[in-house]
């Protein structure tokens, strides 16, 4: 049985421009271990539309029927279980959400009187095996951002109340967006996001007209507009599935790995997260384009996305546009 969602979503392949944001989302879907993406840009640049569109593009997943954690049938060992297919969950985290709403709550009274762990799942449970989207993440309480990042990194959420502990799977791609005018995330939190995409308002008048026309036509007849892009959507969906299957077979020359670490070292990037994410993203990009071995061009396409947000040491300093990363990459990889 498949759950149907009848409300059409603007097709991902119909989105004009914003290539950096689209690429970051595609690569995180291919390899969720990249660690999510932070999307910073002006208001009204299609951040939410694009993020919802990538979720709609993803293949359905098989889950245990009525399971609050969307677990795969293989995770349940007790007897015969009923399964169903659902669209990959796309969960919005509202700005005013409390910790209980995010993590879930334990009914202490029920636990003590009836001797059962009465756990009410939160948004992290619903987001398992899906995408968790936090708009205006830069306005979210730092403590909550910490919880989200910890769960995204470990794949688990633990709730503890009065000596009672509940742990459940919480594997998701964390996508944050925000407007830099309203403040940046602290560098320590920003560094935890795998990639950082910057988007700007389109300046070209012809392109602006095209974007407005596409949106207007979609609003007039959403179903017809979705049908128009069906072949392109199916093609991209298959490309993502093929890349996921190919990912483990991708090889990267040792020399390239050393040079990536040299770039990170000379940029004074703290820790090794930058090295790891750049390696992962380069392999995902190679797989996305059907290759088997990472090339210098593949690394060039993703390295700014992976490192630009890791250079900032002072919270008041603005994020480098990527010029420093690109300049050093060209020097170390000997690009003319």
Q: Residue 1: what pLDDT?
A: 39
Domain boundary among 199, 234, 260: 199
257 part of the active site: no
User: Which listed residue (129, 273, 280, 312) is catalytic?
Assistant: 273
Residue 87, domain member (yes or no) = yes
Residue 312, domain member (yes or no) = yes
Examine the domain organization and report whether 121 and 270 are in the same domain. Answer: no
Domain boundary among 176, 199, 222: 199
The CATH number that applies at residue 93 is 3.40.50.300
Q: Residue 209: what pLDDT?
A: 87
Examine the domain organization and report whether 190 and 112 are in the same domain. Answer: yes
Rounded Cα distance, 54 and 119, in Å:
31
Examine the domain organization and report whether 168 and 311 are in the same domain. Answer: no
Examine the domain organization and report whether 186 and 256 are in the same domain. Answer: no
Domain boundary among 199, 227, 261: 199
Examine the domain organization and report whether 28 and 163 are in the same domain. Answer: yes
The stretches in the chain having pLDDT less than 70 are 1-6, 77-79, 110-112, 114-117, 312-321
Contact 48, 177 (CB under 8 A): yes
Examine the domain organization and report whether 47 and 182 are in the same domain. Answer: yes
Q: Residue 3: what pLDDT?
A: 43
Counting the structural domains of the chain, the total is 2
Residue 207, domain member (yes or no) = no
Q: Give pTM, 2 decimals.
A: 0.87
Tallying the residues shown for the chain, one arrives at 336
Burial class for 78, CB neighbours closer than 10 Å (0-12, 13-18, 19+): exposed
- Dig out the tokens for 163 from the structure: 């000596």
Examine the domain organization and report whether 167 and 316 are in the same domain. Answer: no
- The DSSP result for 149-200, as a single string, is HHHHHHSEEEEEETTEEEEEE--EEEEEEE-GGG-PPPHHHHTTSSEEEEE-
Residue 124, domain member (yes or no) = yes
Residue 225, domain member (yes or no) = no
The CATH number that applies at residue 284 is 1.10.8.80
Q: What residues does 177 pair with on adjacent strands?
A: 39, 135
Examine the domain organization and report whether 171 and 256 are in the same domain. Answer: no
Residue 233, domain member (yes or no) = no
Q: Residue 279: what pLDDT?
A: 97
- Dig out the tokens for 305 from the structure: 């996305």
Rounded Cα distance, 249 and 61, in Å:
23
Residue 243, domain member (yes or no) = no
What is the extent of the structural domain holding 263?
248-332
Q: Residue 234: what pLDDT?
A: 92
Rounded Cα distance, 218 and 8, in Å:
9
Examine the domain organization and report whether 140 and 258 are in the same domain. Answer: no
Q: Do the strands 37-41 and 172-178 form a parallel or antiparallel pair, or are they unpaired?
A: parallel
Q: What residues does 241 pair with on adjacent strands?
A: none
Examine the domain organization and report whether 86 and 176 are in the same domain. Answer: yes
Half-sphere exposure (Cβ direction) of 84: Cα atoms closer than 13 Å = 12
Rounded Cα distance, 318 and 314, in Å:
9
Examine the domain organization and report whether 272 and 195 are in the same domain. Answer: no
Closest CA to 30 of 254, 252, 194, 151: 194
Examine the domain organization and report whether 318 and 192 are in the same domain. Answer: no
Residue 235, domain member (yes or no) = no
Contact 139, 92 (CB under 8 A): no
């Amino acid at each position: 049985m498949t759950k149907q969602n009848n409300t059409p979503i603007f097709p991902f392949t119909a989105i004009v421009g914003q290539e950096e944001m689209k690429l970051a989302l595609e690569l995180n879907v291919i390899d969720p271990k990249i660690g999510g993406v932070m999307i910073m840009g002006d208001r009204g640049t299609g951040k939410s539309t694009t993020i919802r569109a990538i979720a709609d593009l993803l293949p359905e997943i098989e889950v245990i029927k009525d399971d609050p954690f969307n677990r795969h049938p293989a995770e349940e060992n007790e007897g015969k279980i009923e399964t169903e297919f659902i669209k990959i969950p796309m969960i919005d985290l509202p700005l005013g959400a409390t910790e209980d709403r995010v993590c879930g709550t334990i009914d202490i009274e029920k636990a003590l009187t009836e001797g059962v762990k009465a756990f009410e799942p939160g948004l992290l449970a619903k987001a398992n095996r899906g995408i968790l989207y936090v708009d205006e993440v830069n306005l979210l309480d730092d403590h909550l951002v910490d919880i989200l990042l910890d769960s995204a990194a470990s794949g688990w959420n633990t709730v503890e109340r009065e000596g009672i502990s509940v742990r459940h799977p919480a594997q998701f791609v964390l996508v944050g967006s925000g407007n830099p005018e309203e403040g940046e995330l602290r560098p320590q939190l920003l560094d935890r996001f795998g990639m950082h995409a910057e988007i700007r308002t389109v300046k070209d008048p012809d392109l602006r007209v095209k974007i407005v026309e596409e949106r207007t036509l979609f609003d007039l007849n959403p179903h017809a507009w979705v049908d128009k892009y069906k072949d392109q959507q199916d093609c991209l969906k298959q490309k993502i599935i093929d890349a996921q299957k190919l990912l483990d077979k991708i090889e990267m020359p040792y020399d390239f790995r050393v040079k990536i670490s040299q770039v990170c070292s000379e940029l004074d990037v703290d820790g090794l997260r930058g090295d790891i994410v750049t390696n992962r993203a380069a392999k995902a990009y190679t797989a996305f384009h059907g290759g088997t071995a990472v090339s210098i061009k593949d690394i060039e396409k993703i390295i700014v996305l992976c490192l630009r947000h890791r250079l900032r040491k002072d919270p008041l300093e603005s994020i480098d546009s990527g010029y420093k990363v690109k300049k050093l990459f060209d020097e170390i990889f000997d690009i003319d």
